[in-house]
Amino acid sequence: MKEILKGITIFGDSLIFYRLMIIDHKTFDLHGKMVFEKAIIKAPFSKPNPMPDEACFLYVRKGLGVTYSENDFSEISENECILMKCGSYLNKMLSDRSDGIYEAIAVHFYPETLQQVYQGDLPEFLKNSSGKLPDKPAAKIENDDLFQKFFDGIFFYFSNPELVNEELVILKLKELLLLLENTKESDKLHHILSALFSQKSYSFRSIVQAHLFEALSIQELAAISGQSLSGFKRKFAEVFEKSPAKYIREQRLKKAAELLTARDGRSISDIAYECAFSDVASFSNCFKKQFKQTPSQYRDGIMG
């Protein structure tokens, strides 16, 4: 996964580019809202996914995925699932397959849709009775036999859309929610399920600090924070009193210098990647500009 992530950057929301990357895309809607969505994508592809008024359950059938939230990230391998409550996300769709294919199904939950489905009487596990919000807005879920059979059925219906009607969409939506309620990881999931549509507020500073050492571009950080690129840069200068590029580079080099002094056997290439540099050459050049010596010279001077 880490090797695949190197060099992957966001392409923005260009509709032309997006269409070029989409091999197949189908949806099942309910009351004017997209509920089930199947996509086959030519990876790598990276896309902002703001969800201020919806939640999402994602199942990756082929390829790999990384989902970044405001304060965390999750790697989703083939045949794994993740539940995301409302919030701001960035999704990276990758592939370690020879054909470069990423295939997934997303199930979208909207409060108004669920109210209609349950006729205004939501089940208790969808009610945030405690008023507390989970620290993490997303949770990976073990894909057991029940989930596997459920998604096998969804793929069957996408291959036979003439069999699908409103009643079936409602039935499958309820079935998935019951599976989530009764999964082996229900304690962890109940906290998220009960707060699906309650968006937790994260400070701008905490969002930036949470992703300093991940291989994300400035545009991708802006997407995670739910802002435009220009708005992100203005806010960044206001909070950190430096440009994003300068501040992030300084923090990464500061961490690299600390790691170079540790006697833990890390190689310089390991340190470069851990501090989110794309390759050793660019890391060495940046480090020399900052500290007036190469990483090797710096380490030798400290260790000597």
Distances (CA, A) of 280 to 213, 272, 287: 15, 6, 10
Task: State how far the Cα of 144 lies from the Cα of 7, in Å rounded to an integer.
Answer: 33
pLDDT, one tens digit per residue, over 279-303 is 999 999 999 999 999 999 998 876 5
pLDDT of residue 97: 82
DSSP 241-297: SS-HHHHHHHHHHHHHHHHHT--S---HHHHHHHTT-SSHHHHHHHHHHHHSS-HHH
Extents of the domains making up the chain: 2-193, 204-303
pLDDT at position 162 over 50: yes
Report the pLDDT averaged over residues 93-110. Answer: 91
Both tokens assigned to 153: 């059925």
Give the phi and the psi of residue 77 in degrees, each rounded to 5.
-85, 175
Class of domain 2-193: mainly beta
pLDDT at position 11 over 50: no
pLDDT of residue 127: 78
pLDDT, one tens digit per residue, over 239-256 is 999 999 999 999 999 999
Fold agreement between 2-193 and 204-303: no
Is 13 within 8 Å of 47 (Cβ atoms)?
Answer: yes
Nearest partner of 80 among 89, 67, 99, 98, judged by Cα? 67
Q: What is the CATH number of domain 204-303?
A: 1.10.10.60
pLDDT, one tens digit per residue, over 211-237 is 999 989 999 999 999 899 999 999 999
